[in-house]
C-alpha cells in the first residue's frame, strides 16, 4: 500500500490541470492588452509577437485611472476604519454578554448580512441625493464599511470565543476592570490576527465593489472608483477589445498586489466563512 505522504504524480497532474482555467484568462488578458494593434488584428487567438504599452497608457489616461486608484484606496481605508470601529467593540461586548437578550441582538446584527445591498441602497440614495451627498467617495466608503459590519461582528465574535476565556474575563473583573477597560486591555490586544483578516477582507471587498459605486458615484467622474472607471471606459464606442483588456489589466494590478501582501490574512478570513 502507498504511504499517505508519498507524492502522487497523477493527483499533482490533475491539480495542475485544474489550475489552467484559473491562469489562462490572465495570460490571455495580458496577451490581448499588451500586443500591438496590428499583431492582434493579424491573429487574435494566437501567440503575441509584438508587445506595446500603448493600450495600457491609453486606458490609464482615458479613464483617469490614477485618480480612480486614489479614490479606491481612500474609500477602502475609510471602510476598514468604519467597519472595525463598529464591529470590534460590539464583538467584544457580545463575548462578555452571552445571555438570551444579547444573543437575540447579536443574531439580529449578524442577520443584517442577508439584507440585499440594493434594498437598503435605494432609499439611502434618495436621501443622500436630497442632501447633496451623492458623488462623494467618503460617503461611499462609510456605506461600504457598514455593509461589512454584520460579517465582521460574526467573525470577530467567533474569534473572541476561541481566544478569550471566561476565566480571563472574571479575573479582570475581580481586579476591578470595567467593561471598557476590559475591551482595551484584553479585547484589542488579543484580536490582532482577526483584525488583520477583517481589514484585508474589507479592503478587497470595498476596492472591488461596483453596486454602491454605480449608484452613488456615477454623477461625479472625480469620485469614480477603479471598477467604475474601468467599466465606464469600456462602454465608450471608441474603445476596442484591446482597450477593454488594458483597462481590466490596469485595474487588477492593485488587487494582485494586495493579494500578494495579505494572502495569509485573506485566506484566514475566507476560511472563517466555513463556520458561518
Partner 1 sequence: MMRSGLWLIIPAIFAEMVVLFAPMAYVGLRSFYDWQPVGTSVWVGLDNYRILLQDPEFWQIVRNQAFYLLGLPLWVICPMVVAYLLKDRVWRAGLFRAIYFLPAVMSPAIVGLVFRTLLATDGTVNAALHNAGLEALIQPWLTDQDLVKPVVIVMVLWAGFGTGVLIFTSAFQSIPRDVLEAARLDGAGFWQEFLLIAVPAVRHTIILWTMFQVVAIFLFMFGWIYVLTGGGPGLASATMDFSIYQQFIRFGFFGTAAAQSVLLVLMIVAVPLLGWLLSLVLRLWRTPTSGVTRLLPEEATR
Please give the residues from 244 up to 263 whose contact with partner 1 meets the rule CB under 8 A.
244-245, 247-248, 251-252, 255, 258-259, 263
Question: Is position 12 an interface residue for partner 1 (rule: CB under 8 A)?
Answer: yes
Please give the residues from 47 up to 76 whose contact with partner 1 meets the rule CB under 8 A.
none
Q: Which of 29, 73, 133, 190 binds partner 1 (CB under 8 A)?
A: 29
Q: Shortest gap between Cβ of 152 and partner 1 (angstroms)?
A: 9
CB 122 within 8 A of CB 212: no
Q: Which of 61, 129, 165, 220 binds partner 1 (CB under 8 A)?
A: 129
Q: Which distant-in-sequence residues (6+ apart) come within 8 Å of 231 by Cβ? A: 210
- Contact characters 76-105, partner 1, x per CB under 8 A: ------x--xxx-xx-xxx-xx-x-xx--x
Q: Which of 63, 69, 109, 186 binds partner 1 (CB under 8 A)?
A: 109
Q: Under rule CB under 8 A, how many of the chain's residues touch partner 1?
A: 101
Please give the residues from 216 up to 245 whose contact with partner 1 meets the rule CB under 8 A.
226-228, 230-231, 234, 241, 244-245
Question: Is position 134 an interface residue for partner 1 (rule: CB under 8 A)?
Answer: no
Please give the residues from 137 up to 156 whose contact with partner 1 meets the rule CB under 8 A.
143, 146-147, 149-150, 153
- How far, in Å, CA of 129 to CA of 260, rounded? 38
- How far, in Å, CA of 35 to CA of 59, rounded? 14
- The values of phi and psi at residue 238, to 5°, are -75, -10
- How far, in Å, CA of 230 to CA of 60, rounded? 9
Closer by beta carbon to partner 1, 57 or else 256: 256
Contacts 24+ apart (CB under 8 A), 27-35: 29/245, 29/248, 29/249, 29/252, 30/249, 32/241, 32/242, 32/245, 33/242, 33/245, 33/246, 33/248, 33/249, 34/246, 34/249, 35/242
Amino acid at each position: 500500500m502507498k504511504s499517505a505522504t508519498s507524492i502522487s504524480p497523477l493527483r499533482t497532474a490533475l491539480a495542475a490541470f485544474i489550475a489552467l482555467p484559473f491562469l489562462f484568462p490572465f495570460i490571455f488578458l495580458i496577451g490581448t492588452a499588451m500586443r500591438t494593434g496590428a499583431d492582434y488584428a493579424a491573429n487574435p487567438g494566437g501567440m503575441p509577437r509584438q508587445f506595446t504599452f500603448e493600450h495600457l497608457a491609453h486606458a490609464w489616461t482615458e479613464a483617469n485611472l490614477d485618480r480612480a486608484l486614489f479614490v479606491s484606496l481612500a474609500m477602502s481605508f475609510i471602510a476598514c476604519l468604519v467597519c472595525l470601529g463598529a464591529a470590534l467593540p460590539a464583538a467584544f461586548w457580545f463575548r462578555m454578554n452571552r445571555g438570551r437578550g444579547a444573543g437575540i441582538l447579536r443574531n439580529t446584527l449578524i442577520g443584517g448580512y442577508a439584507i440585499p445591498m440594493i434594498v437598503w441602497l435605494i432609499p439611502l440614495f434618495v436621501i443622500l441625493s436630497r442632501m447633496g451627498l451623492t458623488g462623494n467617495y467618503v460617503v461611499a466608503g462609510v456605506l461600504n464599511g457598514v455593509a461589512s459590519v454584520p460579517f465582521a461582528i460574526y467573525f470577530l465574535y467567533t474569534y473572541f470565543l476561541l481566544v478569550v476565556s471566561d476565566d480571563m474575563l472574571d479575573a479582570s473583573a475581580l481586579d476591578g476592570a470595567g467593561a471598557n477597560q476590559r475591551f482595551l486591555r484584553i479585547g484589542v490586544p488579543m484580536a490582532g490576527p482577526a483584525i488583520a483578516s477583517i481589514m484585508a477582507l474589507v479592503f478587497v471587498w470595498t476596492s472591488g465593489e461596483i453596486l454602491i459605486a454605480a449608484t452613488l458615484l456615477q454623477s461625479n467622474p472625480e469620485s469614480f472608483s477603479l471598477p467604475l472607471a474601468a467599466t465606464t471606459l469600456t462602454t465608450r464606442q471608441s474603445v476596442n477589445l484591446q482597450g477593454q483588456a488594458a483597462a481590466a489589466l490596469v485595474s487588477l494590478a492593485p488587487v494582485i498586489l494586495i493579494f500578494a501582501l495579505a494572502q495569509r490574512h485573506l485566506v484566514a478570513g475566507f476560511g472563517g466563512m466555513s463556520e458561518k
